[in-house]
Structure 1
Amino acid sequence: MQRQRVIIRTIGVATAVALAATACGPQKTEPAGSAAAVSSSPTAGSSPEASPSTDNKPGEASASPSASSSASASASASPSASASPSVKQLMANGDENEQVRELQARLRQLKLMSVAPTGFYGSKTTAAVKSFQSKNGLNGTGGVDEATWKKIQGASKKPTADELRPSTVNEVDAPDPRCMQGRVMCISKESRTLAWMIDGKVVSTMDVRFGSENTPTREGVFNVGWKAKEWTSTLYHTPMPYAMFFSGGQAVHFSADFAARGYNGASHGCVNVRDKGKLSALFDQVQVGDKVVVYW
């Protein structure tokens, strides 16, 4: 059946086709790694497990009972010899891995986070960890050392698969300052939401998902270059209804795969929306030239 493509754009057909050559489709699996794949997202790889840190306070290392000769030698030692080692962090701001996802699910159980787990350790996770630390007599660093992790594990239960990757609607993140003026699709990677905003006011919101580590969704400030109510990726041959292209072949579009599989999948760089009705209404409102902000 011949597919009718309706394209709303301000550029010529040849340019539109050239841009669409990088259009993305859903990824069934996330490949292990590609030499050509370069991630622009501020992620840190999976952090190695840190060894248990001591609870010694400064000076305690030389305070243990010993022979008089040893005590004398300790007394004459340089101050650095008695200083305790720095506390090693298991997880901290900027990390992205499955342990962070578990941390976020546990913090959600404790009512310290309202957004769904993303696996990325950002500002909301840092604030939630600080809150937990202050309530439990721990050093409020916002990072997770072994003492903090053990306390969180003791106060919560092992998350279920649904808790780690819920299909419920996500809470909208605080808008990036760059979203506060004009007509903007304000897209948060941390809360996995898109907020359609006009002059600083949220008009509508919807859940979104992004590309994998190997095919990341670009971050920054963009503009809608052209729109296509019906479009099919020329690279991946998958439908991209209600596509609004903002960075080369990357677009905001409806994804049937996202609607069916949720966050168990990923795009090839596009911003997938799973609520077709909401996106249809948004598509009618967004104009070519409107701003798009993608941020953590």
Structure 2
Amino acid sequence: MAVTAAPAQAASCNLTTGPYQRQVEKFLGRPVDGVQSAADCQATKAFQAKHGITPTVGYAGIVTWRTMNTMLEQKAAGKTPNKAGKCPVNKGRIACVDLTRQLSWIQDGATLKYGPVPVRTGKDGTETRTGARKIYHRNINHWSSIYRVWMPYSQFFDGGQAFHSVTKSMWNPPGSGGCVNMTPADAKAYWNLLKNGDDVFVYGRKPGT
């Protein structure tokens, strides 16, 4: 008798109803009934796999919903990320980083110049530090002797913390070692728009830290 993959696939999916079941179902466009189904589980599992959320078993837990909620807040920001006025508009060109929404953008006064774009900031224990900073060193292909990885388009603004590109998802938990991770395209755009001495302002608090 041939052995099919179905039992193994089913075994890898958690069919328990999670605490954020309804929210996750709504986000994924699934029927919102608050009860885990095999289809709900597979859809959730696919989302988790795409963004490196572990365990990747389709359970609607806090980390999965936190990631989805951050995405919703980012979408809601639209083209007015500084609507609340939390990033200074009296500095000229400045790179803003909102840890709460995991968003960054460049503005000149009150004029948006680039973004907002999703970013991946420091995890619990290695948080991206808040406050007013300035870019003090740039290296287009920096090698990290601490983490032993390349950090393309690095622009350092606070004691080793920098904007730089990574190839993983911006929503991959738990976060970075303190740097502001960006997609290669966004990190390159920041490289072209900023220079040494430009202002950086980091505020808020990353969910889960």
User: Which residue is equivalent to 1:283?
Assistant: 191
Larger RCO, structures 1/2 (Cα 8 Å, 6+ apart) = 1
State the distance in 2 between where 1:246 and 1:235 align. Answer: 17
For residue 214 of structure 1, the aligned residue among 97, 102, 125 is 125
Task: Go from structure 1 to structure 2 and tell me whether the alpha carbon gap of 1:191 and 1:234 turns closer, same or farther (over 3 Å shift).
Answer: same
State the distance in 1 between where 2:25 and 2:109 align. Answer: 32
**Any residues of structure 2 matched to 1:124-273 within 5 Å, and which?**
157=34, 160=44, 162=47, 164=65, 165-166=67-68, 170-171=74-75, 172=77, 173-174=81-82, 176-181=85-90, 182-205=92-115, 206-258=117-169, 262-273=171-182
Task: Go from structure 1 to structure 2 and tell me whether the alpha carbon gap of 1:178 and 1:193 turns closer, same or farther (over 3 Å shift).
Answer: closer
User: Which residue is equivalent to 1:8?
Assistant: none
Q: Structure 1, residues 181-204: CA drift from partner, whole Å, max 9, x if none?
A: 211111111111111111111111
Q: Which protein has the larger Cα radius of gyration, Structure 1 or Structure 2?
A: 1
Moved over 6 A (4+): none
Task: Go from structure 1 to structure 2 and tell me whether the alpha carbon gap of 1:223 and 1:156 turns closer, same or farther (over 3 Å shift).
Answer: farther
Q: Secondary structure at the match of 1:279?
A: helix
Q: Secondary structure at the match of 1:293?
A: strand
1:106 aligns with 2:14: no
Q: Secondary structure at the match of 1:197?
A: strand
**Any residues of structure 2 matched to 1:22-171 within 5 Å, and which?**
102=20, 106=23, 109=26, 157=34, 160=44, 162=47, 164=65, 165-166=67-68, 170-171=74-75
State the distance in 2 between where 1:107 and 1:202 align. Answer: 32
State the distance in 2 between where 1:295 and 1:108 align. Answer: 31
> C-alpha displacement at 1:156, in angstroms?
7.2
User: Which residue is equivalent to 2:52?
Assistant: none
Q: Secondary structure at the match of 1:106?
A: helix
TM-score (norm 2): 0.61
> C-alpha displacement at 1:220, in angstroms?
0.7
> C-alpha displacement at 1:285, in angstroms?
1.3
State the distance in 2 between where 1:190 and 1:253 align. Answer: 19
Q: Which has the higher strand share?
A: 2
User: Which residue is equivalent to 1:69?
Assistant: none
Task: Go from structure 1 to structure 2 and tell me whether the alpha carbon gap of 1:201 and 1:237 turns closer, same or farther (over 3 Å shift).
Answer: same
Unaligned runs of 5+ in 2: 1-18, 48-63, 205-209
Q: Secondary structure at the match of 1:196?
A: strand
State the distance in 2 between where 1:156 and 1:281 align. Answer: 43
Q: Percent identity?
A: 23
State the distance in 2 between where 1:156 and 1:193 align. Answer: 32
Unaligned runs of 5+ in 1: 1-98, 111-154
State the distance in 1 between where 2:131 and 2:24 align. Answer: 29
State the distance in 2 between where 1:186 and 1:281 align. Answer: 14
Task: Go from structure 1 to structure 2 and tell me whether the alpha carbon gap of 1:293 and 1:264 turns closer, same or farther (over 3 Å shift).
Answer: same
Say how many residue pairs are matched. Answer: 149
State the distance in 1 between where 2:113 and 2:26 align. Answer: 30
TM-score (norm 1): 0.44
> C-alpha displacement at 1:174, in angstroms?
3.1
